[in-house]
Structure 1
Amino acid sequence: MSLVPLDGADGRDAWTVRSGDGRAFAVFRVDDGLRVTDAVCPHNKGPLDQGWLRDGRVVVCPWHWYRFDLDTGACETAPQHHLATYPVVERDGARFADVGEPAAPLSWAERLRAHARGE
């Protein structure tokens, strides 16, 4: 378990936080609390914290208008894309995102295979 503090809102409905290992996450204020996702759109790496919140549960990427459900990460625009979502936990009155451990680095062969698959 790797916890990232969700501070830094400064009155905004969306902002970015970073983990100690440099990963970035977008935080969204919705009607019933906070939602945390990867900071960039899985389609073409657009900055999701600059997107629009719709219907209280959907973020729209500002680059190509791909729509993602903040509860499930499902893409309403193109189902082959999925946005990672992370649970919010409370510890001693402060809120954190449980972002898990970073993925193990890929070998060069794994990177080349992923690139060939278009990932």
Structure 2
Amino acid sequence: MPQPDTQYTWHKVFPSEEEAKAQVALRKLHHLEVDGRAICFAHTAAGFFALDDACPHLGHALSRGTTNYLNEVICPWHSYRYNLESGRECDYRTRNAVLHPVEIRSDGVYIGIRQKPTA
């Protein structure tokens, strides 16, 4: 019998994929608060992505930035670029972004927040 996925706590952020597309246009970013965390929600041609909204370089809100054709989010302060599939900072100048999985389910769009390990 398969074990339930206990690595993440899943949070419904939109009631449907259509609503997510209506609220976050293609190639746009949107700020969300999920489980006490600021999340940058991205909609690109490759799909939906979620990452912590604080740029790993100096903490500016990535949701105020832009996306590009390489499927990257670009910080508005110093133009650091983070790959939305891997979180990698594209020029290896700073830490990688913290990504969160996004699932499209029949009842909505969900973001997974990694559970903190229990002692």
Q: CA deviation at 1:76?
A: 1.2
Which residues of structure 1 form unaligned runs of 5+? 105-119
> 1:60: Cα distance to partner?
0.7
SS at match of 1:4: strand
Is the 8 Å Cα contact of residues 24 and 43 (structure 2) preserved in structure 1? no
CA separation of 1:99 and 1:81: change in aligned 2, threshold 3 A: same
The letter of the residue matching 2:87 is G
Residue aligned with 1:49, SS: helix
Residue matched to 2:74: 60
CA distance in 2 between partners of 1:75 and 1:11 (Å): 23
Amino acid at match of 1:46: H
Of the structure 1 ranges 41-50 and 88-97, higher mean CA displacement relative to structure 2 is found in 88-97
Matched, 1:10 2:23: yes
TM-aligned CA deviation for residue 102 of structure 1: 4.5
Distance in 2 (CA, whole Å) between partners of 1:69 and 1:63 is 17
Aligned 8 A contact 1:4 1:18 in 2: no
Is structure 2 residue 97 aligned with structure 1 residue 83? yes
Query: CA offsets per residue over residues 96-118 of structure 1, 9 Å max, x none?
Result: 111112578xxxxxxxxxxxxxx
1:67-95 deviation digits (Å, cap 9, x = unpaired): 11111000013344100111111333301
Q: CA RMSD in A?
A: 2.1
Note the residue ranges of structure 2 that are not aligned, 5 or more in a row.
1-7, 15-19
User: Identity across aligned pairs (percent)?
Assistant: 22
Structure with greater proportional strand content = 2
State the TM-score, normalized to the length of structure 1.
0.74
The size of the alignment, in residue pairs, is 103
Higher relative contact order (CA 8 A, sep 6+): 2
Q: Confirm or deny: 8 A CA contact 1:30 1:56 kept in the other structure.
A: no
Q: Distance in 2 between matches of 1:76 and 1:56?
A: 10
Query: Counterpart of 2:3?
Result: none
> Could you say which residue in structure 2 is the equivalent of 1:19?
34
